[in-house]
A and B are shown apart, each in its own frame.
Chain A
Amino acid sequence: MASAQPKIKSKVRCLDGEVGEIVHVIADPISLEISHIVVRANGTQRQVPASAIAAVRDDSVELLCNAAQIAGYPEHKPDDFLTSKQVEIPHLENKVHVEPGDLLVPFPVLEKSCPRRNFFAGFIHVIGALIALPLAWPVLRFITKPMYAPYDNHWIKIGNVSKIKTEDVGVQYIFKKAFTDSVLQREEDKNHWVIKATPEVLKKIYKHGDISFTDEKGEVIWVNKQTVPYVAFAGKCPHLGCGYKWRSHKTLGQVFLCPCHLSIYDNTGKVLDGPAPRPLDVLPIKVSATGDIEIIDVEYKAGKSELVRIA
């Protein structure tokens, strides 16, 4: 079969002489064989069935009819056909070779009406979206569940004031914090800094008066009174959340220094140098009669100039 296939531009000869040339070849999408050749004769294109072909030669095709009968075959309507490149018919191009040019296959009648195609295509999108939609809200809630956990407002004992030997000096308190982490009951080492402030340092820290702390509803849960000389600074650098240290600086003296981006704070928490946008964060603190220090482990968003509580 492959050796004797009609070619585009082959001359077409009838029993009584040449009538024209092949302009298209049409294949049957089911049998994968050539069903028609389209012959251009006398300025019209005629669809001649493969059954009318007597012989296929290298550069010509001989038909079983005479020239007058060609006009009896139906005229070729290009709109009723597609090229084999526009559709996917497995094995077709392996079985039927047409060169140079396109192999034509019939355009399925059911696919010719655009409104109908558009309706089905539209419905596909709508239903696709509607499978996703019912899940959208539950999935969003599912994923975001732990992201906005309520604040942890309970008091944690972090040590005793007896550890502080000198006033106005940062003292690190490392303590164990027990908490529920999804299903795990965990205990983590955390650290905060406490200074015993002299009245002048205390005045600077409380320059806007007592410091109050609120829960997520904005209700005040605690007020740090400026009469209490002990001040706790959260161990998280307000720049980008690193852990800072109490160090001596060449020119600034004893300071809180963050090793990550070299933010420097004095013992009132004020930014002396570096990229930090706000002073060190003061924590709710209470000191018992026996000198035990308790804090609420309040956490603020780093990198903001105002205080945004996150935990």
Chain B
Amino acid sequence: MSHPATAISSVKLAWALSWAAFWTGFPFKVIVALLLLAAQVHPWEGTGLITLLMVSAPIDIWALGLTARTFFLERMGIEVRGPVGIGLWWQGAVLGAGMLGVAYYAVGTTAALCKKAAEATLGVVKKVIPIPVAEQITIELLMWAVPATIVLIMCLLIWLKLFGWRIKRFVVASGQTSSAGLQERVREWDAWRVPADSVLMLISFTAVAVLLTVAFWVLLPVTTPHRHPDYPPPQADAVKKKVKPEELLKKTEGTLAKAEAVLGSLEEEKAKEKKGKPKGK
């Protein structure tokens, strides 16, 4: 009897696993990325990228383990004992790193070559038929992007093929056919998604999330990190005057003293006037 793993194509197998694992890990990685961004660190370069990759590795191992075990049990009826996630992840990662390098080179070269070829071809064609700018852009884009995309897809397929082949070897080596019926198998992989102590899990998850939220509040800038070059508009400045209480008090006390003096002299004058002509009243 042939092994159930041989019934499925390597590419499909690797695709199903990595696609599901990618999305399983995605929300966790976004949380990390968001915190980095709130701290004004770019997660796509330098320390930000290193931090993100470091955090991503365990997330991916867990996600790949969960999705792989599910897939094996549900689709193939195979139970795999031992650490599935790490066993598959390192193979995928090594193959992926290698393929990423190859793809970077292959796609880059294809794009560059096709760009040159497209330019040359269009240069010749333009001498015969005039091509307007908008059409030229799209034609040129298609002429280099289509081959580059095909090369990229080829690289992806090769990676999937290789990874799928490794996955199959892994399943054949360490998997055992499950004797349970379909319903029982579905129940089983469903149960993997629920932790043994779910209350503890919920509480710790909540605690971590509340901590992260507080970190987010602390890190998030109150005013925009990207100010408009012309803000504030010039006339708005004139209206705002800073009031310094002490200075103002001293100043006004001086004015007040002067005013009192003036008032005093006025009253004196008035009194003099009264005295001067008492009979006139």
Residues of chain A within 8 A of B199, CB atoms compared: 122
Stretch of A77-85, A282-290, A300-308 on the interface side: A282-290
Also in contact, A227 and B245, with CB within 8 A (given A180-B236, A180-B239, A185-B239): no
A148 near B: Cβ within 8 Å?
Answer: no
Residues of chain A within 8 A of B102, CB atoms compared: none
Please state if A119 and B195 are interface contacts (CB–CB under 8 Å): yes
CA distance A287 to B255 in the complex (A): 9
Q: Mark B187-230, 1 if CB is under 8 A from A, else 0.
A: 10011001100110110011001100100110010100000000
The smallest beta-carbon distance between B241 and chain A, in angstroms, is 6
Q: Mark B227-255, 1 if CB is under 8 A from A, else 0.
A: 00000000110011101011011001001
CA distance A180 to B235 in the complex (A): 11
Please state if A122 and B198 are interface contacts (CB–CB under 8 Å): yes
Please state if B202 and A122 are interface contacts (CB–CB under 8 Å): yes
Residues A166-180 near B (CB distance < 8 A): 178-180
CA distance A231 to B243 in the complex (A): 23
The residue that B245 contacts in the complex, of A126, A219, A286, with Cβ under 8 A, is A219
The smallest beta-carbon distance between B200 and chain A, in angstroms, is 11
Please state if B240 and A123 are interface contacts (CB–CB under 8 Å): no
Residues of chain B within 8 A of A115, CB atoms compared: 194, 198
B258 near A: Cβ within 8 Å?
Answer: yes
Residues of chain B within 8 A of A228, CB atoms compared: 256, 259-260, 263
Please state if A138 and B198 are interface contacts (CB–CB under 8 Å): no
Please state if A220 and B186 are interface contacts (CB–CB under 8 Å): no
A1 near B: Cβ within 8 Å?
Answer: no
The residue that B259 contacts in the complex, of A119, A178, A221, A286, with Cβ under 8 A, is A286
B125 near A: Cβ within 8 Å?
Answer: no
Residue of A nearest to B232 (CB): A183
Residues of chain B within 8 A of A109, CB atoms compared: 183, 186-187
Please state if A116 and B245 are interface contacts (CB–CB under 8 Å): no
Please state if B202 and A123 are interface contacts (CB–CB under 8 Å): yes
Which bracket fits the contact residues of A? 35 or more
Residues of chain B within 8 A of A118, CB atoms compared: 198
A55 near B: Cβ within 8 Å?
Answer: no
Residue of B nearest to A287 (CB): B259
Please state if B245 and A133 are interface contacts (CB–CB under 8 Å): no
Residues of chain A within 8 A of B213, CB atoms compared: 130, 133-134
Also in contact, A286 and B239, with CB within 8 A (given A110-B190, A126-B205): no
B50 near A: Cβ within 8 Å?
Answer: no
The smallest beta-carbon distance between B216 and chain A, in angstroms, is 5
A35 near B: Cβ within 8 Å?
Answer: no
Residue of A nearest to B206 (CB): A126
B141 near A: Cβ within 8 Å?
Answer: no
The smallest beta-carbon distance between B74 and chain A, in angstroms, is 13
B97 near A: Cβ within 8 Å?
Answer: no
Residues A247-300 near B (CB distance < 8 A): 286-289
Residues of chain B within 8 A of A222, CB atoms compared: 248-249, 252
The smallest beta-carbon distance between A128 and chain B, in angstroms, is 12
Which B residues contact A (CB, under 8 angstroms)?
183, 186-187, 190-191, 194-195, 198-199, 201-202, 205-206, 209-210, 213, 216-217, 220, 222, 235-236, 239-241, 243, 245-246, 248-249, 252, 255-256, 258-260, 262-263
Which A residues contact B (CB, under 8 angstroms)?
109-110, 113, 115-116, 118-120, 122-123, 126, 130, 133-134, 137-138, 141, 153-154, 178-180, 185, 215, 219-223, 225, 227-228, 286-289
- Give me the 5 closest cross-chain CB pairs, A-B, nearest first: A119-B198, A153-B243, A221-B245, A219-B245, A130-B209
Name 29 A/B residue pairs within 8 A (Cβ), A-sorted. Answer: A109-B183, A109-B187, A113-B191, A115-B194, A115-B198, A119-B198, A119-B201, A122-B199, A126-B202, A130-B209, A133-B210, A133-B213, A138-B217, A138-B220, A153-B243, A153-B245, A180-B236, A180-B240, A215-B245, A220-B245, A220-B249, A221-B249, A222-B252, A223-B249, A227-B260, A227-B263, A286-B255, A288-B255, A289-B258
